[in-house]
């Protein structure tokens, strides 16, 4: 019975991720429009865009290879897998043991490498440019993200996300100054990884500045739909990760369906607030030159390492 409800929760979590992810993107866009004094687009716009793209036919470049056609499915699958691992509704997930935080970083890296390779496949200058920039962001963001996870792992003595969240949410309350550093680093990494404003602008198609959009310039129809959906999923997964690591309260421990009464509303509130804060950050900051990005991410990396050092110096009690 316990196992059955765990499976049910796992499926529910997955479906929720798939359905809610575009909504989160819509919400962030709406908040940003309000903050910038524009009239906001509909909350449901991302869904309509996905539906439209699925309807449209695919236009493939003449020399697009099989890799180009397979990549969107792989990227989508990676993000679905990532959303299955991050605890949102329960910490007792059947897929939990399949991958820990290090493997989670591996999933993001896998998706990134596929999208970069797909960007290089057609052989236009834009695709390669985007791929190169994406890998630049990636190789700086990936270790920073890993170090954030390491800080959490050193505190909870585990790299399993479920155990980390359980430690933070359900054991005695303790203040960890190291997590403040880790939190700042994580925010910076999430902005970079999700192609948000200081690093990339999700709404621009200005040639000189785009990163993510440059890579997927050749995609159309259902392929583009899958990539867009995967991008919204990635933002959802990052948001949930941040919430699980730094604001884990409200994620129930056992696999009981009745826990949903607490889990669902708290998740909705947290995501709503988080999305609004993201819009605030994006409105308050300007996009950087691409060569400032290494400095930005280098700072994130240093913050994450500093967080780990702070933990080792102050919190281990030696």
> Binding of another protein at residue 80 (CB under 8 A)?
yes
Residues in region 89-108 near another protein by CB under 8 A? 95, 97-100, 102-103, 106-107
> Binding of another protein at residue 59 (CB under 8 A)?
yes
Among 31, 140, 185, 255, binds another protein (CB under 8 A): 140
Among 33, 40, 154, 262, binds another protein (CB under 8 A): 154
Instruction: Count the Cβ atoms, other than its own, within 10 Å of residue 255.
Output: 22
Instruction: Count the Cβ atoms, other than its own, within 10 Å of residue 157.
Output: 9
Structural contact between residues 20 and 236, judged by C-beta atoms closer than 8 angstroms: yes
> Binding of another protein at residue 245 (CB under 8 A)?
no
Query: What is the spatial distance between Cα 189 and Cα 142, in angstroms, rounded to a whole number?
Result: 8
Nearer to another protein, 160 or 283 (CB): 160
> Binding of another protein at residue 233 (CB under 8 A)?
no
Query: What is the spatial distance between Cα 142 and Cα 162, in angstroms, rounded to a whole number?
Result: 21
> Binding of another protein at residue 11 (CB under 8 A)?
no
Sole window of 20-28, 41-49, 56-64, 266-274 interacting with another protein (rule: CB under 8 A): 56-64
Query: What is the spatial distance between Cα 264 and Cα 257, in angstroms, rounded to a whole number?
Result: 11
Binding residues for another protein, how many (CB under 8 A)? 82
Residues in region 291-310 near another protein by CB under 8 A? 291, 294, 301, 304-305, 308-309
> Binding of another protein at residue 78 (CB under 8 A)?
yes
Nearer to another protein, 35 or 58 (CB): 58
CB neighbours of 225 closer than 8 A, spacing ≥ 6? Answer: 50, 53, 54
Among 146, 251, 271, 303, binds another protein (CB under 8 A): 146
Among 26, 46, 138, 274, binds another protein (CB under 8 A): 138
> Binding of another protein at residue 247 (CB under 8 A)?
no
Residue with tokens 């310039």: 217
Q: In sequence order, what DSSP letters do the residues of 197-262 get, joined into one string? A: TTT--TT---TTT-SHHHHTTT--HHHHHHHHHHHHHHHHHHHHHHHHHH--TT--SS--GGGHHH
> Binding of another protein at residue 269 (CB under 8 A)?
no
> Binding of another protein at residue 186 (CB under 8 A)?
no
Residues in region 23-42 near another protein by CB under 8 A? none
Nearer to another protein, 41 or 106 (CB): 106
- Give the torsion through C-alpha atoms of 176, 181, 185, 191, to 10 deg: 80
Nearer to another protein, 123 or 254 (CB): 123
Q: In sequence order, what DSSP letters do the residues of 74-91 get, joined into one string? A: HHHHHHHHHHHHS-SS-S
């Amino acid at each position: 019975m316990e196992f059955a409800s765990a499976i049910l929760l796992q499926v529910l979590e997955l479906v929720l991720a798939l359905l809610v992810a575009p909504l989160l993107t819509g919400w962030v866009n709406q908040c940003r429009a309000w903050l910038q004094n524009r009239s906001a687009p509909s909350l449901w716009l991302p869904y309509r865009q996905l539906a439209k793209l699925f309807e449209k036919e695919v236009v493939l470049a003449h020399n697009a290879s099989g890799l180009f056609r397979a990549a969107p499915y792989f990227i989508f699958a990676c993000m679905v897998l990532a959303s299955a691992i991050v605890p949102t509704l329960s910490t007792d997930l059947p897929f939990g043991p399949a991958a820990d935080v290090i493997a989670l970083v591996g999933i993001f890296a896998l998706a990134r490498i596929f999208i970069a390779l797909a960007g290089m496949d057609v052989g236009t200058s834009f695709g390669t440019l985007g791929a190169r920039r994406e890998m630049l962001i990636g190789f700086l963001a990936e270790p920073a993200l890993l170090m954030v996870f390491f800080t959490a792992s050193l505190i909870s003595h585990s790299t399993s996300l479920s155990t980390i969240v359980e430690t933070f949410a359900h054991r005695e309350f303790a203040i960890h100054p190291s997590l403040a550093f880790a939190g700042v680093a994580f925010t910076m990494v999430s902005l970079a990884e999700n192609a948000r404003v200081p690093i990339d602008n999700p709404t621009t198609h200005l040639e000189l500045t785009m990163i993510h959009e440059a890579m997927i310039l050749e995609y159309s129809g259902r392929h583009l739909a899958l990539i867009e959906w995967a991008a919204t999923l990635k933002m959802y997964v990052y948001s949930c990760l941040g919430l699980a690591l730094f604001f884990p309260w409200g994620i129930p421990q056992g696999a009981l369906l009745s826990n949903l009464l607490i889990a669902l509303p708290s998740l909705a509130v947290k995501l709503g607030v988080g999305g609004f804060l993201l819009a605030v950050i994006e409105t308050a900051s300007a996009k950087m030159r691409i060569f400032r990005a290494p400095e930005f991410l280098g700072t994130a990396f240093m913050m994450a390492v500093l967080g780990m050092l702070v933990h080792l110096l102050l919190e281990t009690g030696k």
